Amino acid sequence: MNKLICALILWGMTGLALAAGGHGPALLEANVNIGNKTSLQRGARLFVNYCLSCHSAQFMRYQRMATDLGLDDSVVKDNLMFTTDKIGDTMKVAMRPADAEKWFGVAPPDLSVIARARGADWLYSFLNGFYLDDTRPTGVNNLYFPDTAMPHVLSELQGYQQLKDHGEEAGHASHAAPLELAQAGKMDEAEYRQATRDLVAFLVYVGEPAKLVRYRVGFWVIAFLFVLFVATYLMKREYWKDVH
Ligand code: HEC
């Protein structure tokens, strides 16, 4: 009986999830390739230049990044480190979280594991989803994160987009490509898409080492418990052997 109830609840939730997924604009496909080191290197450069002022990546060490991305420590030091001069440091944010919260209303979250929380396609869509909106304090809104507090920090590269259908609510504009360029930036559309793809690839990579660390710790915890179990069992046998 209990099983039946569980099954019914699960079935109901799947239906709800599907219904929820049906709303809002479809995600763009990120198509990242984290095996491509030059893409990751470009992504790292964008990240430290445009994101690290507000967001940290506290599980990522510069040195680790240098090794994984095939960069010399000195290259990383000279080009990618702005918030510290120690190569062993993690990617800390330049701003104090309390200040950030005062300025934006919400503290910008750490981005170490954002790729796993949101998925690569969502991140890519988000970075391509900013459009002009005078009703927002930042002057922009986002198709995939309505009323976000984050400004369009890549506007100098992308320029500004606007909704194709003026006056239409973002949530209803679910047809393909609801945005169009209103004001050009330094990059054309293809270049900007590639830049955001590189950035998302970097964020996906940043999410992986953190996972590996957790798995490694988890492995040793289980190994420790196993050894402890064997020792306890042998001791029990030793203590009880003369009792019978
Ligand atoms: C000027 C500060 C600032 C900069 C620079 C900035 N962000 Fe943000 N970001 C924010 C704030 C504030 C939020 C919280 C938005 C909210 O919750 O409404 C945010 C939210 C986000 C989120 C959503 C997190 C979630 O809730 O799931 C992502 C993803 C993100 N930022 C990525 C980036 C990337 C990538 C860059 C660099 C290109 C960047 N941000 C640069 C301020 C910033």
Q: Whose CA is nearest to atom 34 of ligand 1?
A: 51
Tokens of 54: 């507000």
Q: Can you give the pLDDT of all 244 residues of the chain as single tens digits?
A: 566 665 666 665 555 555 455 567 899 999 988 878 899 999 999 999 999 989 999 888 999 898 888 889 999 998 888 888 889 999 988 777 788 888 888 889 999 889 989 999 999 999 999 999 999 999 999 999 999 999 999 999 999 999 987 555 555 544 557 899 999 999 999 999 999 999 999 999 998 765 545 666 888 899 999 999 999 999 999 999 888 6
Burial of 127 (0-12, 13-18, 19+ CB in 10 A): buried
Q: Which atom of ligand 1 is nearest to the CA of 123?
A: 29
Beta carbons within 10 angstroms of residue 146's beta carbon: 14
Q: In sequence order, what are the residues at sequence separation of 6 or more whose Cβ sits closer than 8 angstroms to the Cβ of residue 170?
A: 25, 131, 141, 143, 146, 163, 178
> Alpha-carbon distance 3 to 177, whole Å?
44
- Alpha carbon 74 to its chain's center: 27
Nearest to 114 by CA among 58, 34, 45, 35: 58
Q: What is the pLDDT of residue 51?
A: 94
**Ligand 1 pocket, mutate which of 150, 153, 192 (most atoms under 8 A from CB):** 150
Q: Give the pLDDT of residue 124.
A: 97
pLDDT, tens digit, 9 for 90 and up, residues 59-82? 889 998 988 888 899 999 988 888
